[in-house]
Structure 1
Amino acid sequence: MKCLTSDELRQMYLDFFKSKGHAVIKSASLIPENDPTVLFTTAGMHPLVPYLLGETHPAGTRLTDVQKCVRTGDIDEVGDESHCTFFEMLGNWSLGDYFKKEAITWSFEFLTDEKYLGIDKDKLYFSCFAGDEDAPRDTVAYDTWRSLGVAEDHIFFLPKENNWWGPAGITGPCGPDTEMFIDTGKPACGPDCSPACGCGKYLEIWNDVFMEYNKQADGTYVPLEQKNVDTGMGLDRTIAILQGKGSVYETDVFAPIIAKIEELSGKKYEGADEDTRKAFRIVADHVRCATFMIGDERGITPSNVDQGYVLRRLLRRAIRFSGKLGIAEGSLPAIAKVVIDKYAHAYEELRFNENKILAEIAKEEERFQKTITQGLKEFEKTVERLEGDTIDGKSAFRLYDTFGFPIEFTLELAAERGLKVDKEGFDKAFEHHQELSHAGAEQRFKGGLADTSEQTARLHTATHLLNAALRKLLSEDIVQKGSNITAERLRFDFNFPRKVERDELDQLEAYVNEAIAAGLDVIEEEMSVEEAKQQGAMGVFDSKYGDLVKVYTIPGYSKEICGGPHAKNTAELGHFKIKKEQSSSAGVRRIKAVLD
C-alpha cells in the first residue's frame, strides 16, 4: 500500500480517471446553487443533480472532480478521532455512459494496482444491495466483483439502510450502491460481523452509486431513462488509511494546522490528555471549515440565519476551545492563514479571498468577546435571582439561546461558586428547540435541484432578469451572492451596501415585467469559458463546469453562465412581483419574489 500525501492522492485520482476518458471539472461552490434542500454542498453528487436527471453537461458524459463538502449535522461530535465538518470528496461520474461493470472494474484497479494505491486485495471487503420491494438484489455488482477475483466471503449483501444512496432532497435521483472497505485488523465482533455492524473492523474507503431510479413525492421509485454512476472517496479518510494514521487529524492535511496551534498555545498535541487533544481537533477542524466557507466563490459571512449561523457557531466554538488551550484572543486569523497556505494551490479562491477571510474571522472574534461580556452580566443576574443552589434548565438555556452564552461557561462559573446547573433540563430545552428548528427546516426545504418543474424553470429564468435589473438600475458592481428557488418563489442574494427603497423595487419589477411582456426567446448555447467572458456573460459559478459552459441569453437583457432549468420564452413567466427585501448578512441584501 502506497503512502501518499493529500496532494499526491488528489492528483493521482484525477489523472487516473482522465486516462479513462473523463473530463476533469473544478469543485462547485460550497453554497448550493438554487437548491433549498440543504444549506451546504454535502456530497459530490449535489451540484450535478440536473445532469443526473438528463441535462447535458458541457464537459461531456464522463466527469471527474474533487468536490468541497460540508456536513454540519454532527458539529458536536467533532473533537473525536474521525469527525470533520469540511472534507474533500473524490468522484467520477457517468451521465448515461458506462455503468456498473466499468465503474467497479476501475475502482478495483485504482485500489489494488501497484501503479495507484496498491492495497492488498485480501484486505478489501465489499457490500452490495440485498434488494427489497422497491428494487431487486444487485447481482450485477456481485458478479463483477467475483469476476475480478474477489472471494465470495469478502462480499456482503446488505439492505437499503446500508447500500442505497439518495436522493439529496425529498425527491430526486437515487439507487443502489456498492461499497468498498478495508480490514482494520480488529477482531470480528461475532459470527454476523459485517460492514453493517459498526464494530470498527471494516472501514469504508469508496462508494460507487448506481443511479437507476427517481424517487417521487409519493415515495415511489421510477426507473430513470438515463442511468448514471456517481462515486465518492473521502480524501481525508483515505489519506489516514494510506499513511497508517488512526485519525485524520494526524495526517499531512492537518499537520501544519496542528503545529500552528501548538505554537500559539505552548502545548503539544502528541502525548496530551484527551481533553487537550479534543480542543486541538475542534480548533483545527472549525477554523479549516470556516476558512473554506468565507473563502468560497459564493463566500458567506457570520450571521444569525442559515449558512451564516452555522459559520458563526463554528467560529465561536473554535474561539471557546482555543481559550481552553490558553491561546491569546485574536489568534484565529493566524490559524486560518495556515489553512490558506495549505490549500490555496488546489483552491485558488482561498488566496483570492485571503484578506476577507482573515478580516471576517477577526471581526467575529471581537463580536464574541462582547457576547461573553454581556453573557457574564446576565449570568450574574441569574445568580442573584436564585432561591436555591441550582440554576434551572430554562434559565441556562435562555443564557445560551438569547445571549449566546455557551452552556460550558455556565457550568464552569456555577461550579466555581459552588452552584449546580440543571443540565438535564437544559438538554430538554435544547432538544425541543432543535426539533422545532428541524420541523421548520423540513417545511422550508422542499423541492430542490431535482425539481425540474415548469414553475421552477420559470422562476429560474426570472432570477436572470432580476439580476440584470439590479445591475442596470442600481449598480454595475452587483453580483449574485446566493440563489434559492422553490416551486413557489425565488430568493436572490446580492451585494449592496444599503436597503433597496420601495420606489426602486417598483422600478426593478417594471424592468423584469417589460422583458416578460416582450416575449423573448431564451437562447441556450455551449461555448468555452473564455468565449463566454468575451461575450460579457455573467457567471459566478463557472468554476464547476470546466472548459465548456452553458450560456443562457435573453436578448437585450441578460447573458449568464448557468446550469439550471429555464423557460423557452419570457412570455411563459407571467407577472413578476417582489414580496420582500431585507438584509441577508453584512453588505448583502436579499429579495424574495413570485410569479403570478
Structure 2
Amino acid sequence: MTMTSKEIIKKYIEFYKSKNHVEIPNVSLVPENDSTLLFVNAGMFPLVPYLIGQEHPMGTRLVNIQRCIRFEDMDEVGDNRHTTAFHMLGNWSLNDYFRQEQLPWVYEFIFEVLKLDPERTYATVFGGGPEVGQDEASVEILKKIFAEKGIDPNIGERILFVKGKNNWWQRGDAVGELGGPSSEIFYYIPNDSSKGKGQDLLANEEAFLEIGNSVFLQYVKTEKGWEPMSMNNIDFGGGLERIALAVQGKEDIFETDNFWPIIERLQELTGKGYKNSSEITYHMRIVADHIRASVFLGMDGVLPSNKDQGYVLRRLLRRIVRSGKALGLEEGISVGLVGIVVEMFSWLYPQLPELQSKMEEIFADEEAKFRKTLNKASKEVEKFLSSIKEDAPLSEVEAAQQSAVFYQSLGYPAEDFFADLKERNINLDEKKFLAESKRIFEEHKEKSRVGADQKFKGGLADSEEITVKYHTTAHLLHAALIQVTKSHATQAGSNINSERIRFDFNFDRLLSPEELAEVEKLVNEKIAQKLPVKFEILDKEAAVATGAMHLDLDKYGDKVKVYYVGNSLEEAFSKEFCGGPHVENTADLQPISIYKQEKMGRGVV
C-alpha cells in the first residue's frame, strides 16, 4: 500500500522523537518581527537566533514540519516538479550532535522507514572553495552507509564532490552570518532498470530529484572571511512534496496526494483530461499549485492587495484566472477548488474549515474583479499584439512603454501583459521588462506628485463654483462617516464634478438606513452652523500630528496643506491633507441628500 504524505510526516516526526528531538510549531507563512523577509521560505527561518547561540526553550534537538512559500518560483510552475508552496521536513541540532549522527540517521529514515531504493539514491558533498576545503569527513560517513547496503560507494558516481555554492549554504554575506558545507540527497525518478547508474547527476536534473539537504553550520563570516565558529549546528530540510513523489513512485509531483485531488476536481470542472495535451497539463498544474498556495496564505491572514504578501496572493489568484480561462473555466474557479484544498489539509491545519467560506468570498471577489479587467483589456491587448511585425521585433523598453499605457488606461498589470507576450512566442528578458515597467511607473508617480504639490494646488480638475462646493461637502461627509460608524472609514477614492459627489470609503458593510440618515443630518447641521473653512501649510510630520486625515504619506511632499472646517485646527470638525480649492464658509453650501449607496468592491462602499 502506498504511503501517504500524512504518514510520511508522522513517521518523520516519530523517527526523530525516538532520537530525543522535540517537535516545534509549524508557524505562519508571514514572518514575525522581520520586515526584510516576505515569507517564511525555509524550515530554519524561525530558528536563526538559536543557531547563532541563543538558548532554545525546547532544547538542543528539534524537529518539525513547516509550511513555506518561494514566490520566486512562480513563473517556473507548470513543469513536473516546481511549486510555490511546499512543506519542509526539518531537524536541527543546536551544538549537540553533528554529521557523525546526522548522516546515518537521515539515510536510516530514507532506507528503513520510507523504504526508498538505495540503488536509486545518490549523494553530493562540498567540493571545496577558496576558504574552506572539501568535505572529506562526510564522504567517509557516506561510503560506509552505501557499503552497508551492498552498493559501491565510488566517488564521482554514487558520491559526488561539488564545488561552489551548490553544496555550500549561507544566510547572507554580512559579517556575522552563518555558513557551512552541505550534503544533498538525490533520488533517481524514471522507472527504468538503470536506476541512474552511469548517468551524470549534475547534468540531468529532470531525472535526479533532490529530496533532502543536511547543512553543517560550523562557520561564521568575519572581516577576514569564513572562520570556524564555537558552535557546530545541523540544519536538515527535506521537501515533503518531493519526498512523496519518490515514495509514491510518481514522476510528476502533481500526481502525488499533495495535488492530485485538485487535478481530479479540475478534470470534473473542465471536462478535460489532465494528460489530454501538454497545454492542458501545464495550465492544470498552475491552477492546482496556485490555489493550494492561496489557501495557505489566506489561512495566515493575507488578503489580496497591491503590496507585499497581499500582492503575491493577488498575482496567484490572477494567474489562476488566466490558466482557468485557457482551460475553458470562465467563472467560479476558486469557489470550486478551495473546498478541496481545505478537505485535503484540515488534518494538518484544523482551522481551515471555519475559514473556508470567508476565503471563498474573498477569492471569488478578486477573481470577478480581475475577469472584468481581463475582458476589458483583451481587445486592446490583442489589437496591439496583432500589430507586431516579425521583421520589427519588440524590445523590452518598447514593451514596457506599451504596458504602462494599458495599466494607466485599463488597469492591466505588467505581469499579465508579459504573459500575453510569452503566449505569442514574443520572448523578452522578463527582468529587464519588469525593471523598465517599474521605472516608468515610478516616474509617472513622481510627476503626479510634483504636479499635485505645485503651489499646493490640485485635488480638482474642475474648479467651477459648484464643484468647489461639492469638494468641501465631501470633506464634511468624510468626517461624518467616521463619527457615525465609529470607525476609521478612510477615503478609498472619490469623483467630484458639477453634477454630484461620489465618495468611496473603506468599510466592510453597507450603512443601515438609520446610519445614512444620521450622516446626512450631521453634514447638514455643520452647513447650517456656518463654520469657517481654512487651511494651514505645515511640515508633513506636524500635519500628521494634528490628526488630519490623509492617504498614503508617500503621495505628499515635505510640506502639506491641511484644510479644516471649524474655528480652529485643534477643534475642527473636519481636517484633511488637501490641495483644495474649497469654499470659505459652510454657509456657501447647500444641504445634502444621500440618494444611493453600493458596494464598490471588497471592503469599499
TM-score category of the 2 structures, normalised to the smaller one: 0.5 to 0.7
**Alignment equivalent of 1:178, drawn from 179, 183, 206:** 183
In structure 1, what residue type is equivalent to 2:280?
T
Say whether the 8 Å CA contact 2:245–2:252 is kept in structure 1. Answer: yes
Secondary structure of the equivalent of 2:343?
A: helix
What residue number does 2:245 align with? 240
- 1:184–1:81: structure 2 CA closer, same or farther, 3 Å change rule? closer
- 1:170–1:377: structure 2 CA closer, same or farther, 3 Å change rule? farther
Q: Percent identity?
A: 36
- 1:102–1:404: structure 2 CA closer, same or farther, 3 Å change rule? same
Secondary structure of the equivalent of 1:353?
A: helix
Deviations 1:342-382 (A, max 9, x none): 10110224234323322221121122123224424754896
What residue number does 1:155 align with? 159
Say whether the 8 Å CA contact 2:209–2:242 is kept in structure 1. Answer: no
What residue number does 1:9 align with? 8
Say whether the 8 Å CA contact 1:291–1:339 is kept in structure 2. Answer: yes
Return the alpha-carbon distance in structure 2 between the equivalents of residues 190 and 435 of structure 1: 48
What residue number does 2:349 align with? 347
Return the alpha-carbon distance in structure 1 between the equivalents of residues 18 and 224 of structure 2: 39
Deviations 1:477-506 (A, max 9, x none): 99xxxxxxxxxxxxxxxx9989x9945879
- 1:386–1:198: structure 2 CA closer, same or farther, 3 Å change rule? closer
TM-score (norm 1): 0.66
Return the alpha-carbon distance in structure 1 between the equivalents of residues 429 and 69 of structure 2: 28
Secondary structure of the equivalent of 1:362?
A: helix
**Alignment equivalent of 2:433, drawn from 430, 433, 438:** 430
Say whether the 8 Å CA contact 2:294–2:313 is kept in structure 1. Answer: yes
Shift of 1:286: 0.5
Return the alpha-carbon distance in structure 2 between the equivalents of residues 28 and 304 of structure 1: 24
**Alignment equivalent of 2:412, drawn from 400, 404, 412:** 404
In structure 2, what residue type is equivalent to 1:73?
E
Shift of 1:166: 2.3
1:205 matched to 2:211: yes
Gaps of 5+ in 1: 416-420, 438-476, 479-494, 507-584, 589-596
Return the alpha-carbon distance in structure 2 between the equivalents of residues 71 and 155 of structure 1: 29
- 1:148–1:334: structure 2 CA closer, same or farther, 3 Å change rule? same
What residue number does 2:126 align with? 129
Say whether the 8 Å CA contact 1:67–1:89 is kept in structure 2. Answer: yes
Tell me whether 426-435 or 285-294 shows the greater mean CA deviation. 426-435
**Alignment equivalent of 2:277, drawn from 269, 273, 277:** 273
- 1:91–1:310: structure 2 CA closer, same or farther, 3 Å change rule? same
Say whether the 8 Å CA contact 2:120–2:196 is kept in structure 1. Answer: no
Runs (4+) off by over 4 Å: 168-171, 185-191, 376-392, 399-402, 408-412, 424-429, 434-437, 495-498, 503-506, 585-588
In structure 2, what residue type is equivalent to 1:164?
W
What residue number does 1:305 align with? 307
In structure 2, what residue type is equivalent to 1:12?
K
1:225 matched to 2:225: no
What does 1:499-518 align with in structure 2 at a 5 Å threshold?
502-503=544-545
- 1:432–1:102: structure 2 CA closer, same or farther, 3 Å change rule? same
What residue number does 1:34 align with? 33
**Alignment equivalent of 1:360, drawn from 350, 359, 362:** 362
Deviations 1:531-554 (A, max 9, x none): xxxxxxxxxxxxxxxxxxxxxxxx
Deviations 1:267-310 (A, max 9, x none): 121x31000111111111011101101111xx211111221111
Return the alpha-carbon distance in structure 2 between the equivalents of residues 387 and 94 of structure 1: 60
Say whether the 8 Å CA contact 2:304–2:366 is kept in structure 1. Answer: yes
Structure 1 vs Structure 2 CA RMSD: 3.8
Say whether the 8 Å CA contact 1:81–1:246 is kept in structure 2. Answer: yes
Secondary structure of the equivalent of 1:162?
A: helix
Deviations 1:176-214 (A, max 9, x none): 1111122345769998x5433335443222111111122
Return the alpha-carbon distance in structure 1 between the equivalents of residues 87 and 224 of structure 2: 31
Secondary structure of the equivalent of 2:72?
A: coil
**Alignment equivalent of 2:297, drawn from 273, 293, 300:** 293
Return the alpha-carbon distance in structure 2 between the equivalents of residues 206 and 387 of structure 1: 48
Shift of 1:6: 0.8
Return the alpha-carbon distance in structure 1 between the equivalents of residues 267 and 3 of structure 2: 25
In structure 1, what residue type is equivalent to 2:270?
S
What residue number does 1:140 align with? 137
Say whether the 8 Å CA contact 2:342–2:356 is kept in structure 1. Answer: yes
Say whether the 8 Å CA contact 1:283–1:321 is kept in structure 2. Answer: yes
- 1:276–1:91: structure 2 CA closer, same or farther, 3 Å change rule? same
What residue number does 2:50 align with? 51
Return the alpha-carbon distance in structure 2 between the equivalents of residues 230 and 291 of structure 1: 28
Secondary structure of the equivalent of 1:152?
A: coil
Return the alpha-carbon distance in structure 2 between the equivalents of residues 586 and 169 of structure 1: 42
Secondary structure of the equivalent of 2:243?
A: helix
Say whether the 8 Å CA contact 1:93–1:228 is kept in structure 2. Answer: yes
1:334 matched to 2:336: yes
**Alignment equivalent of 1:196, drawn from 179, 186, 202:** 202
Shift of 1:42: 1.1
Shift of 1:401: 5.0
What residue number does 2:254 align with? 249
Say whether the 8 Å CA contact 2:321–2:371 is kept in structure 1. Answer: no
What residue number does 2:478 align with? none
- 1:236–1:388: structure 2 CA closer, same or farther, 3 Å change rule? closer
Shift of 1:385: 11
- 1:249–1:170: structure 2 CA closer, same or farther, 3 Å change rule? farther
In structure 2, what residue type is equivalent to 1:131?
G
Say whether the 8 Å CA contact 2:66–2:87 is kept in structure 1. Answer: yes
Return the alpha-carbon distance in structure 1 between the equivalents of residues 180 and 68 of structure 2: 21
Return the alpha-carbon distance in structure 2 between the equivalents of residues 322 and 169 of structure 1: 42
- 1:224–1:263: structure 2 CA closer, same or farther, 3 Å change rule? same
In structure 2, what residue type is equivalent to 1:232?
G
What does 1:18-33 align with in structure 2 at a 5 Å threshold?
18-33=17-32
Tell me whether 428-437 or 143-152 shows the greater mean CA deviation. 428-437
Shift of 1:138: 1.4
Shift of 1:389: 11
Return the alpha-carbon distance in structure 2 between the equivalents of residues 326 and 137 of structure 1: 54
Return the alpha-carbon distance in structure 1 between the equivalents of residues 145 and 218 of structure 2: 23
- 1:190–1:264: structure 2 CA closer, same or farther, 3 Å change rule? closer
What residue number does 1:166 align with? 170
- 1:3–1:434: structure 2 CA closer, same or farther, 3 Å change rule? farther
Tell me whether 76-85 or 399-408 shows the greater mean CA deviation. 399-408
Say whether the 8 Å CA contact 1:166–1:175 is kept in structure 2. Answer: yes
What residue number does 1:95 align with? 94
Shift of 1:265: 1.2
Say whether the 8 Å CA contact 1:294–1:356 is kept in structure 2. Answer: no
Return the alpha-carbon distance in structure 1 between the equivalents of residues 349 and 436 of structure 2: 37
Secondary structure of the equivalent of 2:56?
A: coil
What residue number does 2:319 align with? 317
Shift of 1:398: 2.5
- 1:174–1:400: structure 2 CA closer, same or farther, 3 Å change rule? farther
Secondary structure of the equivalent of 1:300?
A: coil
In structure 2, what residue type is equivalent to 1:27?
N
Tell me whether 200-209 or 397-406 shows the greater mean CA deviation. 397-406
In structure 1, what residue type is equivalent to 2:153?
E
What residue number does 1:369 align with? 371
